């Protein structure tokens, strides 16, 4: 049976505001699951949500990351108008900014499958399929999460980073897919804690500005097909 996922594209939105918003949905979903377990006669189905957005310049450090992977001090962050947050997802440090599709799936995996690794691989596959539509070959590297370009060449480079939090099989946080992203901002960090590999974007790989809305539309279709859900646009 096809699942419903409430989809929102909220555009360019402050990171903290979006974090608070997805946390609210995440906690409400968990509370409903606990209520359903304790009160089966009053059980109400949980809902699934997917948010697309962009953020103003921001660095986020996951709970397993190292602070020295941020190469700017507080004054330099302020001078360059870049925010910085330590957050509760897995992974190390990454950058979010304009021209990057940031996706936050807040899924109750009991509706899909209770397998975090499979969940991450499905997101990667949706990105890989989207890249294929632009004649870019995306791939995986064993032991490293995300989507990469030229994995068998001399210069493997990441085009999509992933980092999530999961509790009671409810997910939050998600992925950052570089479309028209200013890659210079990655020079101020050790991206994902990986110092020997580069970062790229669709714009850099193809040598031209990419239709951002078109990529979002194609990515949503691929996510819906892979996870077998019906997007309910709000």
pLDDT of 2 over the 70 cut: no
**In the prediction, which pLDDT does 130 show?**
98
> Is 192 considered catalytic here?
yes
Q: How many residues does the chain have?
A: 234
**In the prediction, which pLDDT does 57 show?**
97
Q: Taking the model in full, what pTM does it have? A: 0.95
- Closest listed residue to residue 97, CA positions, set 201, 221, 227: 201
**In the prediction, which pLDDT does 165 show?**
95
pLDDT band at 64 (very low <50, low <70, confident <90, very high): confident
Find the mean pLDDT for residues 59-84: 93
Query: Using CA atoms, how far apart are residues 90 and 108, in angstroms rounded to an integer?
Result: 18
- Closest listed residue to residue 77, CA positions, set 60, 100, 98, 99: 60
Q: Where are the beta strands (DSSP E) in the chain?
A: 3-12, 48-54, 58-61, 83-86, 93-96, 100-106, 138-141, 144-149, 157-167, 170-178, 198-199, 229-233
The whole-chain average pLDDT of the chain stands at 95
pLDDT of 191 over the 90 cut: no
Find the mean pLDDT for residues 120-149: 97
pLDDT of 140 over the 90 cut: yes
**In the prediction, which pLDDT does 102 show?**
98
CA atoms within 13 A on the CB side of 108: 19
Query: Using CA atoms, how far apart are residues 14 and 12, in angstroms rounded to an integer?
Result: 7
pLDDT of 207 over the 70 cut: yes
**In the prediction, which pLDDT does 197 show?**
82
**For the segment 100-131, what is each residue's pLDDT rounded down to a tens digit?**
999 999 999 999 999 999 999 999 999 999 99
Q: What kind of fold does domain 3-233 have according to CATH?
A: BirA Bifunctional Protein; domain 2 (3.30.930)
Query: How many other CB atoms are found less than 10 A from the CB of residue 2?
Result: 9
Domain boundaries, the chain: 3-233
Q: Which residues pair with 165 in a beta bridge?
A: 172
**In the prediction, which pLDDT does 54 show?**
98
């Amino acid at each position: 049976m096809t699942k419903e996922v409430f989809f929102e594209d909220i555009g360019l939105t402050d990171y903290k505001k979006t974090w608070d918003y997805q946390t609210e949905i995440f906690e409400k979903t968990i509370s409903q699951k606990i209520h359903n377990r304790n009160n089966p006669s009053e059980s109400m189905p949980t809902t699934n949500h997917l948010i697309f957005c962009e953020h103003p310049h921001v660095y986020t450090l996951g709970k397993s990351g190292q602070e020295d992977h941020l190469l700017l001090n507080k004054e330099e962050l302020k001078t360059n108008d870049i925010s910085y947050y330590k957050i509760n997802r897995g992974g190390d440090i990454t950058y979010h900014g304009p021209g990057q599709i940031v996706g936050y799936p807040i899924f109750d995996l009991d509706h899909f499958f209770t397998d975090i690794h499979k969940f991450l691989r499905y997101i990667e596959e949706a990105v890989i399929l989207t890249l294929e539509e632009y004649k870019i070959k995306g791939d995986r590297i064993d032991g490293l999460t995300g989507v990469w370009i030229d994995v068998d060449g001399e210069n493997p480079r990441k085009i999509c980073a992933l980092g999530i939090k999961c509790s009671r099989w409810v997910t939050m946080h998600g992925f950052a897919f570089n479309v028209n992203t200013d890659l210079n901002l990655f020079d101020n960090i050790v991206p994902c804690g990986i110092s020997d590999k580069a970062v790229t974007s669709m714009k850099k790989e193809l040598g031209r500005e990419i239709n951002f809305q078109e990529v979002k539309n194609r990515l949503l279709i691929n996510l819906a097909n892979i996870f077998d859900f019906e997007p309910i646009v709000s």
